Amino acid sequence: MVTSLEPMDTTADRVPPAVPTTPAHIDAALVRRLIAGQFPRWVTLPVRPVAHGGWDNRTFHLGDAMTVRLPSAAGYAAQVAKEQRWLPLLAPRLPLPVPRPLARGLPAEGYPFEWSVYQWIEGQQARAERIADLREFARALAGFLSALRAVDATGGPVAGPHSFWRGGPLATYDGETRAAIATLGDRIPGERVTRIWELALSSEWSKPPVWFHGDVASGNLLVRDGRLAAVIDFGTCGVGDPACDLAVAWTLLDGASRAVFRAALAVDAASWCRGRGWVLWKALITFDDPDPGRRADARRTLDAVLSEYPASG
C-alpha cells in the first residue's frame, strides 16, 4: 500500500453548480476536467482507467498513488458521502487496509454526482487461482469481518436504499426471488430452490445492529503474494444484520474453506440460512444476465448452494 499523502479535502465550503441528473459520459477526459477544476494541485498527474473498475462506480488511476471513483448512476450516488464519513472512523479498527478518502469532489462538467479521490491500494482481485491457501484466506476474511462487526455501530447508516437494503430483512427481495424462480422454470430445481429460500426467510436478525460491508465479493477483496491484503468498496456498508456478508462463502470459497469461514465467524444456523438466501437471490436474478461472466458466476453459485443444502443449517 502506498504511504500517506495529505489530509482529506472535503470541499465543504464550495457550492455545487446546477447540473443535469443524468451522468455525462464517464471517461478519462471527464476526470481530467474535474480534477483541473476542483483539485488543480493534481492537474499534472496522468489519468487512466483502472483495469477492473467495478459495477457501481467508474474508477481511474490518478498518478500512481491515487484513484478517482465516480458513481455510475443515481442509485449509487449516496454512497460517496457515506464512505467519506465512515471509512476514516472504521479504518483504525480493522486489521487490513481499507480505502482512505483523500478528497471529495462536487458535481461539475455535466457530471451530476459527488465523487471521491482515494489512496491507491496495491493488489489483485481475489480469485481462487491467486490464493495460496483458501482455508487460510477464509480465516483472514473471517477475522476482518469479526473486527468490523465489533466496531461501535452507534449512529451508523441503517439499511436502506444506500445499501440496496443489505443489512435489512431478506424479505425485501421475496417477490423478486419468487418471480425469478417462476421465470427460470424447469432450468432450475424450482421446488428445492423455493425450500432453500423459504428457510432463509424463516428468521430475522434479533440482536443489536452491527457493521456489515455489504458486498464481500472477489472484486472487493485484494490479494498480494497469495494472501488477503485489503478490503475495498464500502459503498453498500451499513449497520444491521451482517448475514449479507456471508455470500462470499458460496461465490468464492469451496466446501472446506466454507466450513472454516463459518466456524471462524461462529455463524449460527439461522444466520447461515439468511446468508445463503442473499446469495441465492443474487444468483437467480443474474442467472440470465447479458454479461457472460456474471451469468457463469450465477450458475456456479447456484450449484454451490444446491450442493450444500440441506447438509448445513
Q: Is it the case that residue 9 has pLDDT exceeding 70?
A: no
Cell numbers that stand for 189 in this block: 430445481
Q: Is it the case that residue 270 has pLDDT exceeding 60?
A: yes
Strands (E), the chain: 47-49, 57-62, 66-71, 101-105, 115-119, 124-125, 210-212, 221-224, 227-231, 238-240
Q: Is 165 helix (H, G, I), strand (E, B) or coil?
A: coil
The tens digit of pLDDT for each residue in 159-217 reads: 999 999 999 999 999 999 999 999 999 999 999 999 999 999 999 999 999 999 999 99
| CA dihedral angle for residue 85, residue 99, residue 3, residue 229, rounded to 10 degrees | 140
Query: pTM to 2 decimals?
Result: 0.90
Percentage of residues of the chain with pLDDT beyond 90? 88
> Are the C-beta atoms of residues 117 and 101 closer than 8 Å to each other?
yes
Is the peptide bond prior to 208 cis by the omega test (within 30 degrees of 0)? Answer: no
Out of 3.40.50.300, 3.40.190.290, 1.25.40.20, 3.30.200.20, the CATH code matching 28-122 is: 3.30.200.20
**Looking at residues 210-233, what average pLDDT do you find?**
97
Q: Which residues pair with 111 in a beta bridge?
A: 108
Range in 26-40, 104-118, 207-221, 296-310 the model is least confident about:
296-310
Domain extent listing, the chain: 28-122, 125-308
Distance of alpha carbon 237 from the chain centroid: 7
- HSE on the CB side for 222, CA within 13 Å? 17
Q: Tell me, what's the pLDDT at 40? A: 97
Residue 24's pLDDT band (cuts 50, 70, 90):
low
**Looking at residues 3-25, what average pLDDT do you find?**
43
Q: Tell me, what's the pLDDT at 313? A: 44
The tens digit of pLDDT for each residue in 27-86 reads: 999 999 999 999 999 999 999 999 876 678 999 999 999 999 999 999 999 999 999 999
Q: Is it the case that residue 16 has pLDDT exceeding 70?
A: no
Q: Tell me, what's the pLDDT at 153? A: 98
Cell numbers that stand for 80 in this block: 460517496
**Looking at residues 125-143, what average pLDDT do you find?**
97
**To the nearest whole number, what is the mean pLDDT of the chain?**
91
CA angle (72 as vertex; 71, 74 as ends), nearest 5:
75
**Looking at residues 255-284, what average pLDDT do you find?**
97
Does CATH place domain 125-308 in 3.40.50.970?
Answer: no
Q: Is it the case that residue 249 has pLDDT exceeding 50?
A: yes
Q: Is it the case that residue 22 has pLDDT exceeding 70?
A: no
